[in-house]
Structure 1
Amino acid sequence: MTDATQPILNFYLPYHLDGIADLPRSIEEYWDWVCKNSSNGEGKYSWTLQTYLYLKESGVPCRIATQLPGTGIVISHRDFLPSTLIPNPNLFLVCIKPDRKPHTWANYYILQSSYDPITRKLRNNQYQVTPSWPQPSLKPRTVSESRVKHIAFFGRTNNLATELNTDEWVSKLKKLGFNWMVIPMTEWDDYSDIDVTVSIRGWNEILHSNARDTVFDWNVKPPAKLTNSWLAKVPAIVGDEKVFLDTGEEGQDFLVARDSEDLIKKLLTLRSDPGLYNRLQVNGLAKAYNYSPEKLIDDWRTLFEKTLLPEYRSWMERPYITRSMVNWWKCLSFFIKPKNILDPIKGLLRG
């Protein structure tokens, strides 16, 4: 695919700073490893380490770097990249930026949503929106009938509507014949006995339509909970969020609940209408390939070959002094904003 003169793809993972001794050697080992090291943050490793494992096993020349190399293409998650990182003009830095702030001198961004505000400031050749990897080691539903009993939320409870995380809600569903479950992280891979997934952060538009920080902006979140349900062959009921509505077709491959009573109505409808249940399964599975490991591996290979390599070469063709000035100008533009100075100061105080 590439010759020896081409720069190797570096995944910058300073995992030793998290007190981690070793990494998984294959994608099959990844989920068990993540669960054992979950206190260090799952997201940053899922975007970097998981990508590295998939690409390496598919034949893409890449390696893990625990220290920033002197030259080449470097891909890393924003959480691994301190804002005070000293710009290196010989590096082409690809920042994986989910719901985070931009980096001071990134050359290119991997984003998880087209609604990320940074897209309004970047040219098309400076970013790509890429789906997150599906749930590792996923076990699809094995129940053959269109049963609607076990209703589950997969994820952290801070991403679940408060109303759905109470004993009252559990009791209400139980009286209707439903078993409500909030799945712990160690079981996020197991959909084998789940009948319906529910992914609703809340119903108050004010909470997410004008969020100042992308960490709290629902529109910047990926549709992973929906696409994981498709891959697992489980019908999904989601919140009224742009990312879900853009990814699928309401009523055909997922349902939307606009308040808690509407959610109960949708569950009752699914239970009484096996045809609707089966349609959601079939249509969701038809779209699932676009979010499968096979498809995303191809997408990442294409990104490397068709975009990152040409952009890196174009960057390196510029005079060294020009590259230095570009990086330092980006840094100055970042730190001239008072709100961006606070994070490095907090980091220094913690250190």
Structure 2
Amino acid sequence: MERLKDCRGAGDVRIHFMANPATNDDLADLRKLPWEKGTVACTAHTWVWAIYRQLKDRGFNVSLGYEPDASAINVVHCQVARRLFEKKDFSKYFLIGIRADFRPFPYGHFEIVQNRHSEGGRRIFMPLYSQPGLIPRDLSRKKIENICFSGRLQNSTDLAWLEEELEKIGCRFVFKGVGQWQEMSDVDILLGIRTFSKEPHHTKPATKLYNAWLAGIPFVGGYDSAYEQIGVPDKDYLRVASGRELVDAIKNLAGDPALFMKMVENGWRKGQEYQPERITDQWIDFFERMAAPAFRKWRQRPSWGWRLRCLILGQRFAFRERFVAWLLVLLGVRRGACGNQG
């Protein structure tokens, strides 16, 4: 197997990352932006900027742009691909689509999924990167008072009622939105509850859990399958299915220093598996073992076979996209945009 590390610089395999053109961000600025300042970039160019930055810092042959490159492996978020390739010939490009929270994208040679429930065949599971520039909880904090949800409010159950409940026990609710996700120094307990139910949310990632682990903060989450895939309830996080259970979990953590420290210590040990360099190792393995060999083979394949496949898939895809667009208009639902902190 030819290693990508041996193909740095002028190697035969280049990995091209397609940024989100809707942002109008300056590509030169994105290319030189350091990892620790990439909180907003990871949101606007979710998945792709983080992988690009990490591989570039390791010295790999990578590029970043708004247009696809027929001479490279193209990595693109599926929502960006839907817009970029609306009027392009898919068969000219080797694509790796990142599904994230959205519908499958049929043109990718591989599809990256963020929950193991969706993996299989050409669908490859990869963990989303932990938060760039993450600032962990201040170890000098003694009082448990700041209970935080960090992310997008639409990805959480309604927690407005929680403020009054927290006041009764001397705590307060803190919300951290886009641009604040890395600042965890003043957070005492982190929440990640999408619904008060036992719904597994099979399309969602475990990012909130391991961000809490790496920040040294106890985590209270729902019954997400992604949490179960990497964590153990009552050992490295607490799991709740109702508002009453949530309040009880917060009370237990605030009132039991031994339980609090157990969650922090167990989470910290487990969280080392999700340090950026460990996730980058997984990407390198994927590109070297699967994507690069498939790309080399694809370059040698007569184009008519792939063109025919794209034509057939394209007809199905176009019909489905038109149907979904009509249905969303009928229901008054806006199409989702790319985003992190899912």
Q: What range is the shorter-chain TM-score in? A: 0.7 to 0.9
Partner of 1:114: 116
Partner of 1:61: 61
State the 1:9 CA deviation: 0.8
Counterpart of 1:285 (choices 265, 268, 274) is 268
Q: How does 1:1-351 map to 2 (within 5 A)?
A: 1-3=5-7, 4-13=10-19, 15=21, 17-22=22-27, 23-24=29-30, 25-28=32-35, 30-31=37-38, 33-34=40-41, 43=43, 45-82=45-82, 84-116=86-118, 119=119, 124=121, 126-144=122-140, 147-162=143-158, 164=159, 166=160, 168-204=161-197, 218-337=201-320, 340=323, 342=325
Paired AA for residue 164 in structure 2: S
Other structure's SS at 1:190 match: coil
Cα distance 1:173–1:45, how it changes in 2: closer, same or farther (>3 A)?
A: same
Q: Give the root-mean-square deviation of aligned CA atoms.
A: 2.5
- Please give the per-residue CA displacement for 1:3-56, whole angstroms capped at 9, x wherever unaligned: 3351211112253x433234331334643654xxxxxxx645130112111110
Other structure's SS at 1:284 match: helix
State the 1:204 CA deviation: 4.0
Cα distance 1:275–1:307, how it changes in 2: closer, same or farther (>3 A)?
A: same
Other structure's SS at 1:220 match: coil
The answer to whether the 8 Å contact 2:23/2:44 transfers is no
Cα distance 1:145–1:337, how it changes in 2: closer, same or farther (>3 A)?
A: closer
Cα distance 1:323–1:63, how it changes in 2: closer, same or farther (>3 A)?
A: same
- Please give the per-residue CA displacement for 1:102-158, whole angstroms capped at 9, x wherever unaligned: 224211111111223xx4xxx52x121111111111000122466422111111111
Paired AA for residue 194 in structure 1: V
List, as ranges, runs of 4+ consecutive aligned residues in structure 1 with deviation greater than 6 Å.
Answer: none
Tell me how far apart the structure 2 counterparts of residues 244 and 90 of structure 1 sit (CA, whole Å): 38
The answer to whether the 8 Å contact 1:146/1:274 transfers is no
Paired AA for residue 73 in structure 2: I
The answer to whether the 8 Å contact 2:78/2:102 transfers is yes
Cα distance 1:311–1:232, how it changes in 2: closer, same or farther (>3 A)?
A: same
Unaligned runs of 5+ in 2: 330-334, 336-342
Tell me how far apart the structure 2 counterparts of residues 309 and 28 of structure 1 sit (CA, whole Å): 25
Paired AA for residue 136 in structure 1: P
State the 1:336 CA deviation: 4.3
Tell me how far apart the structure 2 counterparts of residues 242 and 88 of structure 1 sit (CA, whole Å): 34
State the 1:66 CA deviation: 2.4
Unaligned runs of 5+ in 1: 35-41, 210-217
Q: Tell me the TM-score normalised to structure 1 length.
A: 0.83
Partner of 2:339: none
Paired AA for residue 10 in structure 1: H
